[in-house]
Amino acid sequence: MKISVTLRNMGIQSTPEMMKSCAECAEQLGFESIWITDHIAIPPDDSEGSGGRYTDPLTTLAWIAGFTTTLNLGVGVLILPYRPALPTAKQIATIQELSNDRLLLGAGVGWMEPEFRALGIDRRQRGKITDNTLAFFKDYFDNEVVTEHGQPLIVNPRPPMPETYIGGSAPHALQRALKFGHGWMPMARNVDKLAEGIKQFSQMAEAAGTLRGPVTVMTGLPLDESGKAREMITAFSALEIERLVCSIQYNTEDDYRQALTKLASIVSRDQGVI
């Protein structure tokens, strides 16, 4: 099981200086990947904790790719209904190629009504839009020529499609992951409940005559209680998930480094978990 961490691309922690320092810290300490989040814009009454400031996830990951070499770069999750399929596929392909295939793509349907309203998108159509976008992504990365709105187009660059994980809860996220051959990316702190979801994922895959994709889990760990954190990591690992993304709470670069150093001391390199 790989151990990964979040990076705040929001609020006072999202300055270029702090994000660069924190991303470099994650790479220096040997973490497999960092993950950032996606919001287009936050209404004033829902801006606590961020001040309404979010950097664009794809632009931010492209920037981070320029000063890192081994760190994989994840977005958990990119809200697909917010974005047109063709330009988004081009952005994803460009980051993937220029980063030497280090992009990890979490994809989701979204939930915040004000964002859909501001973009003029019917929130009730978000599932359909997401499916159409995922279908287009598959076409884009599988074929040199694709057709959009009746127009054939050469798509280049066209590197390997990034590892893709469908965010959200069972059963809808599982159905979407199976339909498009991707993995699942739930948020979970309850190991037993997660185990039920993974079992359901496997059963649905078996019923469909296919194999389920890998599972990447976003969670929080009590780093101030190393014994409890180690216990949780062991329990997650027993579920044979691919990656555990640990949410890191911090205000300063020192906070971040201390948290990552503590996490690195909890997990064992010789077991291949970091």
pLDDT for the residue numbered 226: 83
Tell me the CA distances in angstroms from 204 to 36, 116, 168, 179, one per residue in order: 29, 31, 16, 11
Q: Considering the entire predicted model, what is its pTM? A: 0.95
- Give percent above pLDDT 90 in the chain: 92
Kindly report the CATH number assigned to the domain that includes residue 46: 3.20.20.30
How many CB atoms sit inside 10 A of residue 135's CB?
13
On the question of pLDDT at 268 being above 80, the answer is no
Tally of domains within the chain: 1
- Nearest residue to 253 (alpha-carbon basis) of 19, 85, 33: 19
**Which tens digits make up the pLDDT trace of 212-253?**
999 999 999 999 988 999 999 999 999 999 999 999 999 999
Alpha-carbon torsion angle 220, 213, 201, 108, nearest 10: 60
Query: Looking up tokens 């996606």, which residue turns up?
Result: 38
| Mean pLDDT for the stretch of residues 53-70 | 98
On the question of pLDDT at 121 being above 60, the answer is yes
On the question of pLDDT at 273 being above 70, the answer is no
Q: Give the model's confidence band at 270: pLDDT under 50 very low, under 70 low, under 90 confident, else very high.
A: very low
pLDDT for the residue numbered 46: 84
256: containing domain? 2-271
